Amino acid sequence: MTTAPGRPRAIDAEDRLARAAVEIYGAEGWAGLSIGSVAKRARMGKSSLYLRWSTKGELLADAFAIFGAHVEDVDTGRIRSDLIALSMKLVDAFDGPAGLANLRLQVDAATVPELREVERRMRETQVAAAREIVKRGIARGEVPSNTPVGLLLNAVCGGVVNYANTRPPERRPLDRGEAESFCVRLVDLVLRGLAASEPV
């Protein structure tokens, strides 16, 4: 989401374009996406888009970069609140039209050559940022130095993505308060499990 509650951002042309691209891709897939369809939905001239992007793959990659989860922005100073903030970014990323686009990208990465690199870059950026959260927690002594980083992150990120993805269409969009309460309980469950297994 470009506009998190409490942090309104000016919806400029770039945001509008990114949202249009992600929404069209989410709803209609790779075949339904074109520079022309994005220009039309964003109410902009097609020629101005062609000045910047020569293919729809490049446009979609930039759209995901603008509209993505931006895990790298999370740094609250504590691992618990970092993991909760990370979880809420995933809720936003996997709920609504962007959610469909994120899911679709996972499928298309395996079958559409142009999207393989887009998916890889996004995944690697997000995984690296998430690992940094845990590493900072280790450096601050909040979790043991031998914390199984991948296991911890799979439990937290996977738990949240599953919570968002298995929601039936008629129960969307997610209630943000409910989602936040889920994220807090999930992070606490996982951190308690960690503390119980390896004394700090």
What is the DSSP secondary structure assignment for residue 7, as one 8-state letter?
A: B
Phi, psi of 7 (to 5 degrees): -130, 60
Nearer to a second copy, 20 or 130 (CB): 130
Orientation angle between helical segments 96-108 and 113-139, nearest 10 degrees: 110
- Contacts for 54 with CB less than 8 Å, ≥ 6 apart: none
Among positions 74, 159, 174, 179, the unique one binding a second copy when judged by CB under 8 A: 159
Nearer to a second copy, 38 or 159 (CB): 159
Which range touches a second copy (CB under 8 A), out of 1-9, 44-52, 65-73, 106-114? 106-114
Residues in contact with a second copy, counted by CB under 8 A, come to a total of: 44
CA 159 from centroid of its chain's CA atoms = 14
Nearer to a second copy, 40 or 121 (CB): 121
Q: Is residue 67 at the binding interface for a second copy, with CB under 8 A as the rule?
A: no
The CA–CA distances, whole Å, from 115 to 23, 105, 173 equal: 16, 7, 27
Using DSSP's 3-state secondary structure scheme, residue 141 falls into: coil
User: What part of residues 21-60 is at the interface with a second copy (CB under 8 A)?
Assistant: 27-29
Among positions 44, 65, 85, 109, the unique one binding a second copy when judged by CB under 8 A: 109
**At CA 30, angle to CA 28 and CA 35, rounded to 5?**
90
Q: Which amino acid is at 141?
A: G
Among positions 5, 6, 8, 168, the unique one binding a second copy when judged by CB under 8 A: 168
Q: How far is the CB of 31 from a second copy (least distance, A)?
A: 8
What is the DSSP secondary structure assignment for residue 175, as one 8-state letter?
A: P
Residues that bind a second copy (CB under 8 A): 27-29, 100, 103-104, 106-107, 109-111, 116, 120, 123, 127, 148, 151-152, 154-155, 157-163, 165-166, 168-169, 182, 185-186, 188-197
